[in-house]
Amino acid sequence: MSNYDYFCGMKTLYVTDMDGTLLGPDSKVSPTSAKIICDLTSQGALITVATARTPATVQPILAHTAMALPAIVMTGASLWDREKCSYSNPSHINNVTARCIEEKSATFGIALFQYTLSQDNVLDVYHQGKMSPKEQNFVKERSDLRYKRFHLDSLYNHHQPTLLYFAMGELQRIFSLAEELRATVDCSVSAYVDIFGADTGILEIFAPQVSKAAAVKSLANTINADRIVVFGDNLNDIPMMQVADVSVAVGNALDQVKAMATHVIEANITDSVARFIAHDVENAH
């Protein structure tokens, strides 16, 4: 049986998180992983990413890594067609909910980055107030990217559709706000520890029902996949692990993620995700 016949006969959807999972410590796909994934994609493998990142960073990071499927971006708030450079099926936060989120965050002393989608497929990002050094560095690393524009020390924008709110800050404060929002606001909330600093919490707020899990299931249904294999390392990967047939944690994953996984492989620095996919494809014959 050829690879083509296998992939046409039994469709497996492979979905990997990026930071801490597919990407190395340099936030890049290694040449080895890129080659393996490109080769598998050329044979018909259905591989994509599910990430908290926006297309502004997904596009350049995956420039040398061919994948036939759209990327699941912003933790499932939208799909991103890398070839057409366009969004599809974006989930927006309505203005009433948006204002409630902003008010709740202010009471916890947390300044939000508001991501709105413009008509020219660019994310306009608004932030009010003084930024911490980590926030400043976050902006600096992304300020010259295509598909994203920052509007700093600016009022939030309620004239364009809001896709998400993002915040980084002191761990306990971030998790406390997340708990408050889940209890009082009709939205989807993801809170987890920053892999680049264990003292920092990351908060992402989306429209109701948005998650990596929902996006993975929707994509699997769209392509009529018979089987779902996912890879992750952090708390926001657990929902998609729960809907997968095979869930894989990299060796550097949090203990809670490893406990949820059906497989634990080597750390992300060893090209473990790409090698697992290749091995899984080979064993299917």
Give the pLDDT confidence of 235-254 residue by residue, as tens digits: 889 999 999 999 999 999 99
Query: Given this chain, do its domains 3-89+211-283 and 95-206 carry the same CATH topology?
Result: no
Domain regions of the chain by residue span: 3-89+211-283, 95-206
Q: How far is CA 131 from CA 112, 113, 134, 137, in A?
A: 10, 10, 8, 9
pLDDT for position 195: 76
Q: Is the C-alpha dihedral spanning 154, 201, 71, 57 positive or negative? A: positive
pLDDT for position 6: 42
- Could you tell me which CATH number the domain at 95-206 has? 3.30.1240.10
**How do beta strands 148-152 and 113-117 pair?**
unpaired
Q: How far is CA 182 from CA 96, 98, 195, 198, 243, in A?
A: 16, 14, 23, 23, 21
The residue type found at 190 is S
Rounded to an integer, the average pLDDT of 186-192 is: 93
What pTM was computed for the model? 0.86
Helices 95-107 and 171-184, packing angle to 10 deg: 140
- Range 3-89+211-283 has CATH code 2.60.40.10: no
Statement: residue 162 has pLDDT above 90: yes
**How do beta strands 12-16 and 227-232 pair?**
parallel
Query: What is the distance in angstroms between the CA of the first residue and the CA of the last residue of the chain?
Result: 7
Statement: residue 277 has pLDDT above 90: yes
pLDDT for position 8: 47
Q: Exposed, middle or buried: residue 199 (CB in 10 Å: 0-12, 13-18, 19+)?
A: exposed
Say if residues 14 and 225 touch (Cβ distance below 8 Å): no
Give the pLDDT confidence of 84-109 residue by residue, as tens digits: 999 998 999 999 999 999 999 999 99
User: At which residue do the structure tokens 């911490």 appear?
Assistant: 132
Statement: residue 51 has pLDDT above 80: yes
* Band of residue 113 on the pLDDT scale cut at 50, 70, 90: very high
Q: Which structure tokens are listed for 42?
A: 């050329």
Give the three-state DSSP class for 260: helix
b/e sequence 79-105, b meaning 16+ C-beta within 10 Å: bbebeeeebeebbbbeeebbebbbebb
Rounded to an integer, the average pLDDT of 34-45 is: 97
Rounded Cα distance between 26 and 65, Å, is: 16
Give the pLDDT confidence of 117-138 residue by residue, as tens digits: 998 889 999 998 889 999 999 9
